[in-house]
Amino acid sequence: MLDAPEGYRNGYGKVRRRSLMAGTVELKRPRVRGLEQRFASRSLPLFVRRSEQVSELWPRLYLHGLAQGDFELALRGLLGDGAPLSASSIERLRQKWQLEYEAWRSRRLDDLELVYVWADGLYVKAGLEDNQAALWVIIGAVKDGRKVLLAIAAGQRESQASWSRVVRDLFARGLKPWKVTVADGHLGIWSALGERCPAGEEQRCWNHLLTNVIDQLPKKEWSGARELLRQIP
């Protein structure tokens, strides 16, 4: 005769709200008794009040320029009046992201053996009042073909001094020189690399080159020209 299974249902806990992309729903977490270890629901963890999709939405909205004080108003329309939102929860998330970013940007890079590096400055809507925020991004390719995000640093404009700070920080954390750098025609990145990685080869980004050519053509010819130009590289 088989032993009876351990544990038994013992009703439900208090009603809780959980925010999903389709809105906010009310759920009751089941309670279980008679187990050696405390029961933990995988579908409704104890302190989780929103789905992963909602959590991923918040940093995207912040990146696209939604001010911290506008989050609650914007998300009430999407998630409903019962959504567990508050200014303090947004601030806690912001502090958590900041800590994660600081830990990531201070990690050691001694074990990476890079072959190629791509560098570019991107401009996003978030942040600096009337001015767009610039993000200096560097991605490396290691010998086995994997791509590794090396740096994301924020500022107001691209310049040699700005790029030099980013590159200098990478080498300070143990990154070894690489063979080829791919970037656009901005002189700031090339001047910075000339100081820190003078033996590396330089290659202009094909995407930027093709875009510069297409911009000189009538708009009606862009589609055909793009296909022809892509055959060059």
For residue 179, give the CATH number of its domain: 3.30.420
Residues 89-140 have pLDDT tens digits of 777 777 888 899 999 999 999 999 999 999 988 877 655 455 556 888 999 9
Residues 34 and 58 in one domain: yes
pLDDT of 51 > 80? The answer is no
- Residue 49 has φ and ψ, to the nearest 5°, of -115, 0
- Return the axis-axis angle of helices 52-63 and 87-105, rounded to nearest 10°: 80
Q: Which of 58, 80, 82 is nearest to 70 (CA)?
A: 58
- Among residues of the chain, what percentage have pLDDT more than 90? 18
Residues 121 and 75 in one domain: no
**Domain stop point among 77, 103, 129:** 103
Q: Which of 122, 134, 138, 128 is nearest to 192 (CA)?
A: 138
Domain count of the fold of the chain? 2
> Would you say residue 16 lies in a domain?
yes
Residues 44 and 122 in one domain: no
Q: Which residue segment(s) compose the domain that 179 sits in?
A: 114-230
Residues 192 and 219 in one domain: yes
Residues 133 and 89 in one domain: no
Of 124-128, 195-199, 210-214, 219-223, the range with the lowest mean pLDDT is 124-128
- Dist CA 182 CA 14 (whole Å): 57
- Among residues of the chain, what percentage have pLDDT more than 70? 82
Residue 125, pLDDT score: 64
Residue 126, pLDDT score: 57
Residue 149, pLDDT score: 95
Residues 119 and 99 in one domain: no
Residues 119 and 159 in one domain: yes
> Would you say residue 1 lies in a domain?
no
Residues 63 and 159 in one domain: no
Own/partner long-range contacts of 181-188 (Cβ < 8 Å, ≥24 apart) = 181/116, 181/117, 181/118, 181/119, 182/116, 182/117, 182/118, 182/119, 183/118, 183/119, 183/120, 184/120, 184/208, 186/121, 186/158, 187/160, 188/121, 188/158, 188/159, 188/160, 188/162, 188/163
Residues 67 and 164 in one domain: no
Residues 57-92 have pLDDT tens digits of 777 776 666 776 677 777 776 677 766 666 677 777
> Would you say residue 108 lies in a domain?
no
**Domain stop point among 82, 103, 124:** 103
> Would you say residue 109 lies in a domain?
no
**pLDDT confidence of 230, banded at 50, 70, 90?**
confident
